[in-house]
Each structure stands twice: as structure tokens, then as C-alpha cells.
A = this chain, B = another copy of it.
Amino acid sequence: MSTHAQHAPHPTGLAQKLADSGLRSTPQRELVYDVLLTKRDHPTADEVFARVKPELPGISLATVYNCLETLVQCDLVRAVNFERGPTRYCPNLCPHAHFHDEATGQTHDIDLPPVLFAKLRAELPAGFDANAVEITFRGKAKTSSN
């Protein structure tokens, strides 16, 4: 029965990145990451839990939190926050902004030219050393596709 590749090695080399940090690749971590890559709608931990459970019924919410934290640590996903709402997770690693639709609660990635990030950084007074910039728009999105 070994001809079935039930878990094809992860397309993006998750096992590799984990190993780089001295961590193991586990079914839970693979699956959580998979879920994030598959539906990139910035799900919350609860939503990830719901998507993962059918596949791995024994998994616990605590583990989902652990896995997400691990993935963030390994720079495989980004944690995103709006106000004090539940943390959302985003597998898009290129610098980008987020648009939070107040009507639907949906989150959209907004690509920005790198030069804009540079210009923002350039505005920091001397003595301020930023290692991250976060940009969030809030408003209504009337995407025809939705």
C-alpha cells in the first residue's frame, strides 16, 4: 500500500524550513500549513481548526495555536491583526498591505510598490530603527467578483 503518496512532500519545503529551525515536521504542522496555502482568506485560529479537523479529527485547538505560532516563527506565514479581533494568518510573504472590509469582515491583500515601503521608512526620525512596517486600510470593498 505504499504506492499511494498520501502526503506528498510539501510543495514549499516546509519540512526543510522546520528542520532549519531544529523542529520536526509533523502531520499537524503540515496540515495546518496546507490549509493556509489552500484557502488564502486570512483565517483565524478557529477557522483553521475547523478546516483541519475533518482531515485529522483528533487534533486539538491548542495544537492549532501551537502550529500557527511555529509557522510564524519559521517565517512561513504572517500573523495579521485588526483592532482587537482574533489573529488571522496569511501565507503571503511579500511585503504588502491589508484591506479590511468593514462590511463583510473580509481581508484582502494589497500589493504595494517596494518604493513606497522605502519612502515610509525614510520618514522615520533618526534613532528609530524599524524592522517591520504594517499598513492597514479599513473601508468598504465593492468587488464585483464578490
Interface set of A (CB-CB < 8 Å, partner B): 79, 81, 83-84, 87, 97, 99, 108, 110-113, 116, 119-121, 123-125, 127-144
Contacts of A142 in B (CB 8 A): 127, 129
Known: A81-B83, A110-B123. A139 touches B129 (CB 8 A): yes
Q: Is A137 within 8 A of B128, CB to CB?
A: yes
Per CB-CB distance, the 4 closest pairs between chain A and chain B, nearest first, are A130-B139, A130-B137, A132-B138, A134-B136
Contacts of A99 in B (CB 8 A): 124, 128, 130
Q: Which of B110, B112, B127, B132 is A137 in contact with, Cβ under 8 Å?
A: B132
Q: Is B139 within 8 A of A132, CB to CB?
A: yes
Residue on B nearest A108 in the bound complex, by CB:
B128
**Chain A contact residues: helix, strand, loop or mixed:** strand
Q: Is A135 within 8 A of B120, CB to CB?
A: yes
Residue on B nearest A86 in the bound complex, by CB:
B84
Q: Is A128 within 8 A of B116, CB to CB?
A: no
Q: Determine how close the nearest CB of chain B comes to the CB of A90; give it in whole angstroms.
A: 14
Known A110-B124, A120-B135, A127-B144; further 12 A-B contacts with Cβ < 8 A: A81-B84, A97-B123, A110-B125, A111-B123, A116-B116, A116-B123, A121-B137, A129-B140, A129-B141, A130-B137, A132-B139, A134-B137
Residue on B nearest A132 in the bound complex, by CB:
B138
Residue on B nearest A128 in the bound complex, by CB:
B141
